[in-house]
Structure 1
Amino acid sequence: MSAAVSASVVSIKVTPQQGQDEGSGIILDTKGHILTNNHVVAGAQNNTVTVTLTDGRIFSATIVGTDTTTDLAVIVLKNPPSDLSPAALGDSSAVVVGDPVMAVGNPLGLANTATTGIVSALDRPVSASEGGSSTTVVTNAIQIDAAINPGNSGGPLFDAQGRVIGITSSIATLSQTSSQSGSIGLGFAIPVNLAKNIASQLISTGSAKHAFLGVSLQDGTATADGVTRQGAVIEQVSSGSPASNAGLQVKDVVVAIDGKAVAGAESLTGYVRAMSAGQQATLTVVRGGKALDVTVTLAVQAETAASSSGSSQSGGSSNPNGSTQQGGQGLFNPFGFFGQG
């Protein structure tokens, strides 16, 4: 399968003020649009990067748009060739634990590297801080055991039919220093359904809008009908927000969204960020020892320099803007790049 899909995968080189960084990307269309991670292109000078196709041809590309909230970006080739091979995008909602997967990318500058494994878990809340910024990316990711390393960032995760089901973006590492990190069999990919939504917005407008709930959260537990479950405890409700309009209250504990268990603040944030403004969600809330369902209509997050589109903060002080931190554990880090400087 590697030979059949490799033509849709590219290597990306970025020249920041010092050194050189590398990552990966996937071809979206014949116009030369390429999807990658925001942290791959964040250091680009003059919004320009260098793209190498699988056959060795080299092109310049410009940044079309970036989204720090989801760590996604779209670039476009200058004067794209007529024989580009766009990737086939799959449906991440159809993925199940145990599915075989293949990651293809540019780890440590080794182009066209393919590694295989299985889907280890779904909706795994992953919090990762982008290097050099205060932005925290929270995603309910696809967890895989296929080996991925620095340079795989932005590359595709394929299913057994050669369809892209995720964008490899981060790894768990035992090291607190990303330059010393490597695969320990715990890799994470942004689900392709989220990536498709963000990419289409970036191509259309150069930016992406995000749904938000309008609460600050903490991790916690709640007991209803004699059963104790993990959940996200509401610490603050913003006036006029979707949460306020739906009647959510401080100290409510959200234990599920649309029937999916909420393990904590990051989990709820990841679910909300994967949804669209105007979309309705049913929150299962424990209030006063009783469980009830609350229907919420999500709205567009008002973007500010300090805000993001999720709904929570865990393990620390509350944040009404809705960004999520992991409580300082530092386990999940975005990939480093293969710095040659």
Structure 2
Amino acid sequence: MDASHFRHRARRSPLPLVAGLCALALASGCSGPDSGPAAPESSTSAARADSASRAVAQLESDYQRVINDVLPSVVQIQTADGLGSGIVYDTDGTIVTNAHVVGEETSFKVSVATGEKVLDASLVSSYPEQDLAVIRLGDAPEGLRAAKFGDSEKVEVGQIVLAMGSPLGLSSSVTQGIVSALGRTVSEPSSGGGTGATLANMVQTSAAINPGNSGGALVNLNSEVIGIPTLAATDPALGNSAAPGIGFAIPVSTVKTIADQIIDHGEVTSSGRAALDVTGRTVVDDDYQPAGVALVSVERDGAAYDGGMRVGDIVTGIGDTEVTTITSLAEALAAEQPGDKVRVTYTRGGGTRTAEVTLGEI
């Protein structure tokens, strides 16, 4: 599977609830010669079965507790084009979701997971560069429950997680999995074709992420939101159909950073995303293979300009990372921070050059 191929898992909606329970296998100890008589095999088997049953019951209880804690804070968002999910951010009726869920619209119908009344909401601001948006209910109902948000620094591979949202329009659905990996950088498809936003530090999960899950909640067993499910991988070998068990969520640290700025200022004032301050296009070599990014414009006094780069230069590398396309350039920059100094490799007039560039901010 080509990791550069991904698709949104929202706006329409995923599959019904799938919850898996893992029975824990308990290892039995060995008795030495002085340990006394061995327990009858039937008694040992019964004890194991009883322990396994208690473990399953405890895990099931943990799942139910988390669902009861968090699901009231997960909403369904209806737009003119489809459905998505959102998370109640505060008791004032602020809801955070994906930018691709709200699209170009400014008004929405919102259904709270535990209620039947449809509420009106309006857009506060959308930030497609990080695929996040904030909307607000016109009249927040009494008893509206805000979600509890966790700490990205405490998220670890192997943690059990639940994904909550409205897959395929099935509101209040829950799927289960683990954190499969951290720090993934993925590029979203654009609604008009090509590449959309490049998202860094994504949480990879095996919990099913389907259309409609986007904007919902990925939560740990402490009932804390650790991410917003946003997209799932697709497999070109299978006609770009979903690759099961490979989904991605925007980490909670990014969610809080962007949402807080929108709430406080009505817009994002500091993205935290590194930039070369250029626009470019992918160029190909004599074999029609992607070979770099030609600079179409270079912002005066921007990062690339101050590093000596000009229109017509072709970027081929950032640090030790090869750059062949616009997408690979965006992914290389996503791994850096504004203010970082990086080595940019580029060509001009057929010759290869390098520049030490202090990165700007998107």
TM-score tier by shorter-chain length is 0.5 to 0.7
Q: Given residue 9 of structure 1, which amino acid in structure 2 is its aligned partner? A: V
Cα-to-partner distance string for 1:177-221 (whole Å, 9 max, x where unaligned): 99x9556111111122122222122223333244423255989xx
Which secondary structure does the structure 1 equivalent of 2:228 belong to? strand
SS at match of 1:39: helix
Three-state SS of the structure 2 residue aligned to 1:138 is: strand
Aligned to 2:286: none
Describe the shift of the 1:135–1:297 C-alpha distance in structure 2 as closer, same or farther (beyond 3 A).
Answer: closer
Code of the residue aligned with 1:36 in structure 2: it is: T
2:130 paired with 1:56: no
Alignment check: 8 A CA contact 2:86 2:215 kept: yes
Instruction: Name the CA distance, whole Å, in 2 between partners of 1:89 and 1:284.
Output: 37
CA distance in 2, matches of 1:95, 1:298: 29
Q: Is the 8 A contact 1:148 1:183 kept in 2?
A: no
Q: State whether structure 2 residue 70 is matched by structure 1 residue 11.
A: no
Query: 2:84 — aligned with what?
Result: 23
Q: Output aligned runs, 1:1-341, within 5 Å.
A: 1-16=66-81, 21-42=82-103, 44=105, 47-58=106-117, 59-132=119-192, 136-140=196-200, 141-174=202-235, 181-182=241-242, 184-209=244-269, 210=271, 211=273, 212-215=275-278, 236=295, 238=298, 239-245=300-306, 253-255=317-319, 264-272=328-336, 279-283=338-342, 296=358, 298-299=360-361, 301=362
Task: After TM superposition, give the deviation of residue 42 of structure 1 in Å.
Answer: 1.5
CA spacing shift, 1:121–1:294, aligned 2, 3 Å:
farther
Any conservation in 2 of the 1:68–1:135 contact (CA below 8 Å)? no
1:51-71 CA distance string (max 9 Å, x none): 111212431111111112122
Aligned partner letter, 1:65: S
If you compute each CA radius of gyration, which structure gives the higher value, 1 or 2?
A: 2
The CA distance in 1 between the partners of 2:320 and 2:249, in whole Å, is 22
Q: 1:177 to 1:153 in 2, by over 3 A?
A: farther
Post-superposition offset of 1:127 = 1.2
Q: Would you tell me which structure has more helix in proportion to its own residues?
A: 2
SS of 1:196 mapped into structure 2: helix
Shift in CA distance, 132/284, structure 1 to aligned 2, threshold 3 Å: closer
Offset of residue 134 of structure 1 = 6.8
8 Å contact 2:185–2:198 — kept in the other structure? yes
Amino acid at match of 2:254: L
The answer to whether the 8 Å contact 1:214/1:242 transfers is yes
Tell whether the 8 Å contact from 2:187 to 2:331 is kept in structure 1 after alignment.
Answer: no
Taking the aligned partners of 1:69 and 1:26, their CA distance within structure 2 comes to: 19
* Contact persistence 2:303–2:357 (CA under 8 A): no
Are the aligned partners of 2:308 and 2:355 in contact in 1 as well (CA < 8 Å)? no
Q: TM-score with structure 1 length normalisation?
A: 0.67
Alpha-carbon distance in structure 2 between the residues aligned to 1:182 and 1:118: 18
CA RMSD of aligned residues (A): 3.5
Partner amino acid for 1:159? N
Query: What CA distance in whole angstroms lies between the structure 2 residues aligned with 1:134 and 1:202?
Result: 28
Identical-residue share of aligned pairs (%): 35
Tell me how far apart the structure 2 counterparts of residues 202 and 68 of structure 1 sit (CA, whole Å).
13
Deviations 1:227-279 (A, max 9, x none): xxxxx97865934213444678976733479xxxxx9534323335xx5xxx5
Partners of 1:128 and 1:138 in 2: CA distance: 6
C-alpha deviation, 1:30, in angstroms: 0.9
Instruction: State how far apart, in whole Å, the 2-side matches of 1:77 and 1:133 are.
Output: 32
Kept in 2: contact 1:129–1:135 (CA 8 A): yes
TM-score by length of 2: 0.63
**SS of the counterpart of 2:250?**
strand
Q: Size of the alignment, in residue pairs?
A: 268
Cα deviation code 1:93-147 (max 9, x no counterpart): 4423222221111111111111111222222221112324777111122211111
Counterparts of 1:12 and 1:176, CA distance in 2: 33
* Corresponding letter in the other structure for 1:129: P
Residue 293 of structure 1 deviates from its aligned partner by 12
- Contact 1:74/1:202 (<8 A) preserved: yes
Gaps of 5+ in 2: 1-65, 284-290, 322-326, 347-353
Structure 1 residue 294: Cα displacement: 6.0
Q: How far, CA to CA, are the matches of 2:78 and 2:234 in structure 1?
A: 24
Task: Check whether the contact 1:101–1:116 (CA below 8 A) recurs between aligned residues.
Answer: yes
SS state at 2:136 partner: strand
For residues 184 and 144 of structure 1, do their structure 2 counterparts lie closer, same or farther at Cα, with a shift above 3 Å needed? same
